[in-house]
Structure 1
Amino acid sequence: MAESRPTPEPRPTPEPQASSHASSHSTSFDPWSPGFVADPYPAYAELRERGRLHYFEPSRQWLVPHHADVSALLRDRRLGRTYLHRFTHEEFGRTPPPEAHEPFHILNGNGLLDLEAPDHTRIRRLISKAFTPRTVEVLAPTVRRLAAELVDGLCAAGGGDLLAEVAEPLPVAVIAEMLGVPAADRALLRPWSADMCAMYELNPTEDAARRAVLSSLEFTAYLRELIAARRAAPGGDLLSALIAAQDAGDRLSEQEMISTCALLLNAGHEATVNTTVNGWWTLFRHPEQLAALRSGEVSLSTAVEELLRYDTPLQMFERWVLDDIEIDGTLVPRGAELALLFGSANRDPARFDRPDTVDLSRPDNPHVTFGAGIHYCLGAALGRLELGASFGELLRRAPTLRLVAEPEWKPGYVIRGVKELLVEM
């Protein structure tokens, strides 16, 4: 799944130019407010009603709330996930990140998510030779087995925290299986990912940056050792396939392989975890829809798409303006940053009928949860496989699953999810 770019450095964005169309930010849009994080959708409706573009001074970004604009701008080559392929930080009017943050930015900046052509094109082509639809298809029995084992454990205990017992362990186990990470080392992956993903939030703290740097160093060192082992003794795992992947003699560098593995862990499982728990929280609040799903009245695959749309795990996706662009009569200058509001786009009444209603049988569902354009989520098929497996096993093995207590939301807005989801049978 596509994720937001880390932004720890100051944002000296050019001030918004006067326009009869764009507006200054709405006071109800407050990504640091617990109330907003718990339910951002009324604020999104207000933004959509007020216009297509809004300047948000606290993060110095232009908010884009409409589905049509978000979809188009994801594909617009005047925008980029990085600007360093064309400009220095200084040329772009930006302050370079602190030197102490460099290990994080090296790890993050060499992954597909934060690259543009020609590097993005080359690396995605090489990765695609290893990460094929067939790779995902072969994984299906393993994913279902892992999901069944986790759900069995939850059932044997009579319930517990669905997030900790099922939602989190499944994608970590799957990516570990894919990369050939020994079972004894898998407990390391989730903390590393959580620390690094904290940098994707708006204006992360220096403490968050320190943790992300430490985890980046530890994860990089671990992967270097694992790559060396696979070079010496290749196996049938994805890491061995990445080492072997080549096109016209071109290969992935070691740093590109390390960054790819980190991206698969971070982008893949953070979204899957939050879609699982947010999705069950949605189902518990809409018992008639849950009953229809349990009875087989609606298909699981269609239901998963609706849960991905209704409560989007990634609320915002940021892109830099590489060349001046006009949106609804407003000139957004080079050096500015657009914040594409996925959560708002997925609730836009101009594109979705009754967007605030959960309809697990919704037939027309062009949500933007996995992004679009060249940064469309490479692991979308794997994410859907994991979600189908975990929801399917819970529906089959825990037909009386019910909520124990209303969950509390984590403070993060960009990657949005609850702290725990306590359930019982």
Structure 2
Amino acid sequence: MAIDFTDPAFIQDPYPGLAALREQGAVTWHEPTGQFLAAGHAAADAVLRDRRLGRFWQDREPAEVYEPFNLLHRNQMMENEPPVHTRLRSLVAKAFARGHVERLREPIAAAAGKLVREAGPRFDLLADVAGPLAVTVIAELLGVPQADRPRLRPWSAAIVRMYEVSRTPETERAALDACREFAAYLRDLAARRAEEPRDDLISHLVAVRELAPDELVASAILLLNAGHEASVNALGGGMVALLRHPAQLSRLREDPSLIPTAAEEMIRYDSPLHMFVRTAAADVEIAGVRVPAGHRIAALLGAANRDPAVFAEPDTFDVSRDPNPHLGFGAGLHFCLGAPLARIELQAGLRALLPLRLELAAEPVNRPTFVLRGYEAIPVVIGTSE
């Protein structure tokens, strides 16, 4: 029986189903979605790295209905291959280089600490800490004014629902509205930065004049969406994993030097991004399976990150796991540009939360989504510092 990506029980805990799929074969055909699925680690890695597989944007139809969404995607780096991808990525790469983001480590740590201190004894880990931290970091980098930042996450949350198998007419309408509003906002902000430049990425992109207006807007929205959506879910899902494994939580509190490996394990154990689809430009063989030209194949990152051929006891949450060659940030040409920043942010959130006696106040509420996995709410109670 084919796996159902819209089944609420599967979305609640996809890993048993993904393990069963992986046991059927590293690459299998999935009739309901009309694509191949790469569930093994080696196969998923090959899908991400093979240059005969690419991201080739096709406008959603009818075009007049979906144009706000199509406009943002046909003009962004993630939906293009070289030379367009190379040009777009090179224009923003410096802002995310390791040396530059390292200078943000202390401000990010300060922001995380402030959010935790202000959260009070009972709070929602997503709404009060993970969400605001992620938005603050990426908005600061791009130069979004403080007063406008509360609008970013609702826009982003609406748009990314379009990537799901389970989207509805209501979620599509909300996404298209968000695309229009977000794009209009970014055009206005870019115009303001053209008149009064500041030391931020939007001003830089306006100044280089190598981006068409639609490319600038699409690039900024991609960075704002990708720059906080995965970070929110990584910290949220990672903290839920920690709270459900008290021995690992105690171990991490006793030895904070494990925070970097714990952060990587959070991304591996409950991957924020579960599916990355590519299209064959020519016939390709992945794990012994022929993928004909024009066919799609999805790298199932969550399945790959639980592959027993690569990870010892893959269903065990281990904050000291090393090495940890997870695919949470992708691989190859489209490897996550913001990975160094995301790591700093995740570690900062951990350092701010670890000293507190934190417990789940109620069962976390899952988002009804698979491609971008996460929670809608994580109610917690914290005590005094230990």
- Once the two structures are superposed, residues 90-130 of structure 1 have per-residue CA deviations (whole angstroms, 9 ceiling, x without a partner) of xxxxx745321011111122111111111001111122234
How far 1:217 sits from its partner (Å)?
Answer: 1.1
42, 51, 56: which one pairs with 1:68?
42
Structure 1 match to 2:360: 403
Indicate whether 1:46 and 2:20 are aligned: yes
TM-score by length of 2: 0.95
Indicate whether 1:253 and 2:212 are aligned: yes
Which residues of structure 1 form unaligned runs of 5+?
A: 1-25, 90-94
Q: What is the identity, as a one-letter code, of the residue corresponding to 2:147?
A: A
Q: What's the secondary structure of 1:415's corresponding residue?
A: coil
Structure 2 match to 1:419: 376
**Paired residues, what number?**
382
Structure 2 match to 1:286: 245
Q: What is the identity, as a one-letter code, of the residue corresponding to 1:408?
A: V
Cα separation, 2, equivalents of 1:392 and 1:329: 44
Cα separation, 2, equivalents of 1:98 and 1:205: 18
1:299-378 residue pairs with structure 2 within 5 A?
Answer: 299-378=258-337
1:377-396 residue pairs with structure 2 within 5 A?
Answer: 377-396=336-355
- 1:159–1:423: 8 Å Cα contact kept in structure 2? yes
How far 1:358 sits from its partner (Å)?
Answer: 1.0
Identity %: 48
Indicate whether 1:152 and 2:109 are aligned: no
Indicate whether 1:126 and 2:91 are aligned: yes
- 1:65–1:340: 8 Å Cα contact kept in structure 2? yes
Structure 1 match to 2:103: 138
How far 1:211 sits from its partner (Å)?
Answer: 1.4
164, 172, 175: which one pairs with 1:212?
175
Structure 1 match to 2:137: 174
- Once the two structures are superposed, residues 329-371 of structure 1 have per-residue CA deviations (whole angstroms, 9 ceiling, x without a partner) of 4332222111110000000011111111111111110100000
15, 19, 32: which one pairs with 1:58?
32
- The list of structure 1 runs, each at least 4 consecutive aligned residues, that deviate by more than 6 angstroms after superposition, is none
TM-score by length of 1: 0.86
Q: CA separation of 1:83/1:417 partners in 2, compared to 1, >3 Å: closer, same or farther?
A: closer
How far 1:138 sits from its partner (Å)?
Answer: 2.5
Q: What is the identity, as a one-letter code, of the residue corresponding to 1:199?
A: M
Cα separation, 2, equivalents of 1:158 and 1:203: 36
Structure 1 match to 2:222: 263
Cα separation, 2, equivalents of 1:401 and 1:203: 33
More helix by share: 2
Q: What's the secondary structure of 1:129's corresponding residue?
A: helix
Q: CA separation of 1:297/1:231 partners in 2, compared to 1, >3 Å: closer, same or farther?
A: closer
211, 218, 235: which one pairs with 1:276?
235
Structure 2 match to 1:200: 163
Structure 1 match to 2:70: 105
Indicate whether 1:165 and 2:122 are aligned: no
Indicate whether 1:33 and 2:11 are aligned: no
